[in-house]
Amino acid sequence: MSTNPLSEFRWLSPLGVSVILFILQAVLTIVASLIVLTLNPRITTTAYRVEGGFMLSGRIDSLFFGKSIEQIIKDNPQLQEIDRYALYVRAGLWVAFGFFQIALAWFGMRQGQAWAFWTIVLSNIAALAGWLMVILPVVQKRIPLGFDLPPVVLLLAGVILPIAGILGWIGLY
């Protein structure tokens, strides 16, 4: 484990690029979450849910549940209210996760602290595992996934995590 003092930290080193990528991911997660919080009353309408679905996309959710989103909402109108408030909680957790990751990268990884790096990596793996738990039953039902998969968080963690993780590993060890 490297314990480089802050004065020796280099932004263009493997560790520095890893810190940049983790902070970028966190900032994009926060921005996406704030957009969701701002637009929440609009995106929990039936019209939006037809496209956006509840968990993945309107198309995937309709195939998974065996009926259209409109029919699901017609059968269970309270579902829209439940979805609205659950979305506030999810978006709030995403904002918290973003700030948590920024603090770990800025105050821990920049100082060469391996514990901060591993905390970020394991947190992102846990977030990805949560999304995989949602996607797995869809795949098991042989429902084709497409470009209508939403979450920016899934894409950010799935793309940035391997690159930032490898660079962070190289920079720390």
pLDDT digits (tens, 9 = 90+) for 120-138: 999 999 988 988 898 899 9
pLDDT at 152: 61
| CA nearest to 82, candidates 40, 52, 134 | 40
Mean pLDDT of the chain: 87
Task: Give the pTM.
Answer: 0.84
Task: Show the tokens assigned to 70.
Answer: 């409109």
Neighbours of 7 (CB within 10 A): 5
Neighbours of 34 (CB within 10 A): 14
Q: Which of residues 47 and 15 earns the better pLDDT score?
A: 15
> Do 124 and 112 touch, CB atoms closer than 8 A?
no
Highest mean pLDDT among 19-33, 47-61, 135-149: 19-33
Lowest mean pLDDT among 32-41, 94-103, 136-145: 32-41
In angstroms, rounded to a whole number, what is the distance separating the alpha carbons of residues 157 and 33? 14
In this prediction, residue 4 has a pLDDT band, given cuts at 50, 70 and 90, of very low
- Per domain, the residue ranges of the chain are 10-172
